[in-house]
């Protein structure tokens, strides 16, 4: 079994709140080691609720098929 599969197997046994902590820690490690930009990810997360009303409206449905 590969290391990734072992990790997945362990995570699948955890309750949802603990699995969320594991995901948060993985994201922390990615930022710490330069594998992910924290500011870019935070910006994306912050803009999603605001942009949802622009992305999901009947006037712009024509763009969904492109």
User: What are the tens digits of pLDDT across the range 28-65?
Assistant: 898 888 888 777 777 778 888 877 777 777 776 676 66
> Is 12 inside a domain boundary?
yes
Tell me how far apart the alpha carbons of residues 61 and 63 are, in angstroms, rounded to a whole number: 5
Tell me how far apart the alpha carbons of residues 21 and 15 are, in angstroms, rounded to a whole number: 10
> Is 17 inside a domain boundary?
yes
Tell me how far apart the alpha carbons of residues 24 and 59 are, in angstroms, rounded to a whole number: 37
> Is 66 inside a domain boundary?
no
Question: Which residues contact residue 9 at a Cβ distance below 8 angstroms, ignoring those fewer than 6 apart?
Answer: 1
> Is 65 inside a domain boundary?
no
User: What are the tens digits of pLDDT across the range 19-38?
Assistant: 989 998 998 898 888 888 77
Q: Which domain holds residue 44?
A: 3-58
> Is 49 inside a domain boundary?
yes
| Structural domain total, the chain | 1
């Amino acid at each position: 079994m590969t290391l990734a599969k072992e990790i997945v197997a362990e995570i699948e046994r955890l309750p949802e709140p603990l699995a969320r902590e594991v995901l948060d820690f993985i994201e922390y490690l990615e930022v710490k080691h330069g594998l992910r930009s924290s500011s870019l990810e935070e910006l994306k997360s912050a803009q999603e609720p605001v942009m949802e009303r622009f992305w999901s409206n009947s006037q712009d449905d024509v763009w969904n098929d492109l």
